[in-house]
Amino acid sequence: MKMTIAEIAQAIDADTSLLSEETLAKEITSVDFDSRNIKQDGLFIPLLGEKDGHNYIESAAANGAGATLFAKDHEDQLPVAVPVLLVDDPLKSFQKLSKYYLQKINPRVIAVTGSNGKTTTKDMIAAVLSSEFNVVKTYDNFNNEIGVPYTLLQMESNTEFLVVELGMDRPMQLDFLSKLVEPDIALITMIGEAHIEFFKTRDKIADAKMEITHGLKEDGIFIYDGDEPLLRERAKDLSVRTMTFGSKQDNDIYPIKIDGQKFTTNFTTNLWPDVEMVIPMIGDYNVNNALMAILVGKIFRIHEKLICKQLKTVQLTKNRTEWLEGKLGEAVLSDVYNSNPTAALEVLKTINETPVDGRRVIVLGDMLELGEQSLAMHASLAQELSLAKDNQVYLIGDDIQALAEALKPEYDATRLHVYKKDQLDQLAADLIADMQPNDTILLKASHGIHLEQVVAKIVK
């Protein structure tokens, strides 16, 4: 990002009455809403949340901030150490600036949402496109009203593609984000139970996910899971071009053969039956994520050999289906950023089908935001766990206790270990004491359980 203070002010209609002509000509080269991360000549965005960002402007100035937005209703605490752009609402001005900058750089925009798999899909699409284009993708999970504008403003002037992840936890959130980024291609990975506490039914979750099409360009493309009736039904009402992926042969792309290995998955598709693809992760659900990336690559005429190469070496965002090595050499599968019943069942099924040399150790934490159905949904995982009676199972959290009760008839105390959500340290200690060199260990939970702390203690 490179803009003068004057250009920024004009883009967001800011009051510059406190600034000189010399100051307005000064160039801003970055943006951040965390004063600790401000770089030299960066623009500081003082957001209003649990803490008031205006209280950290002096800190931002000390770190080299070149300018700051400043809410007009805070004028009684105006700073003197950094140039000030007066605005009504710093967040809305931040969003407006990101929209202006997006239109200025004018890349092709690929927007991804879904109840599960959106971060992995984003990573795969970005990897495929980067074989021939300059690509910027959403950093980590910066996928909300703050994270998306931040992502837009990270683009360099030579950016050709923006692959942006859009999150959702309430109605009309995706409507806003989609209209902010105006995607050329919009994708929905799947409809699961994430946030069902607020939406009550999968139908309403599907309605909310479809909001990603609200900002889709008239000549844009909507890509979705064709095996999901809720999406097929809603896609019929769209005037834009649609494409589908899934396991059924009436989709635009589907796998012909899937061969799961211990750490990778090999597969072929109907598009290139003689070309074997390899992804560095396990699970049919990750093949679905790869199918979306393949479709995007094909749309932009990337050769299948390049797509193969990029998928085989894709670098995934941390804590998403990530293979790590335990202290004794165990295989540790960390998937601790997000969880819902559909995603948990998929990964449990995959780990049960994965060839292992030793034991399978399953570590599960609470799946959050499931509302009144939470206990039943946690207990429903027992069916998949009952299929592999040699598993060691560790459970941590509140509602996961329902799963513990469901497993007790088949799992004795030597194989079922249950912890309260504040017993992460004890869980880690017990795992370390129990682990054996040939074990394969799965850890899966919603991020709010913080299983990543356990992962950090059991790996090298």
| Side chain identity, residue 370 | L
Q: Do residues 208 and 168 make contact, with C-beta atoms less than 8 angstroms apart?
A: yes
Which of 435, 438, 440, 439 is closest to 458 using CA atoms? 435
Which residues lie across from 30 on neighbouring strands? 42
Which of 174, 176, 150, 146 is closest to 162 using CA atoms? 150
Which residues lie across from 161 on neighbouring strands? 108, 135
What does the block give as tokens for 91? Answer: 């967040």
What does the block give as tokens for 389? Answer: 């009676």
Q: Do residues 292 and 121 make contact, with C-beta atoms less than 8 angstroms apart?
A: yes
* φ and ψ at residue 144, rounded to 5 degrees: -115, -160
Count of beta carbons in the 10 Å neighbourhood of residue 416: 18
119 among annotated binding-site residues: yes
114 among annotated binding-site residues: yes
Count of beta carbons in the 10 Å neighbourhood of residue 181: 24
Q: Do residues 4 and 79 make contact, with C-beta atoms less than 8 angstroms apart?
A: no
* φ and ψ at residue 434, rounded to 5 degrees: -95, -20
Beta strands in 228-338 (DSSP E): 241-245, 255-260, 265-269, 277-279, 322-325, 331-335
Task: Report the C-alpha gap between 68 and 87 in whole angstroms.
Answer: 10
Return the SS3 of 235.
helix
Write the DSSP string, 172-216.
THHHHHHHHH--SEEEE----STTHHHH-SHHHHHHHHGGGGTT-
247 among annotated binding-site residues: no
116 among annotated binding-site residues: yes
Q: Do residues 228 and 202 make contact, with C-beta atoms less than 8 angstroms apart?
A: no
Which residues lie across from 392 on neighbouring strands? 361
Task: Report the C-alpha gap between 216 and 413 in whole angstroms.
Answer: 53
64 among annotated binding-site residues: no
Task: Report the C-alpha gap between 152 and 166 in whole angstroms.
Answer: 12
Annotation: binding site for ATP: 114-120
Annotation: binding site: 114-120
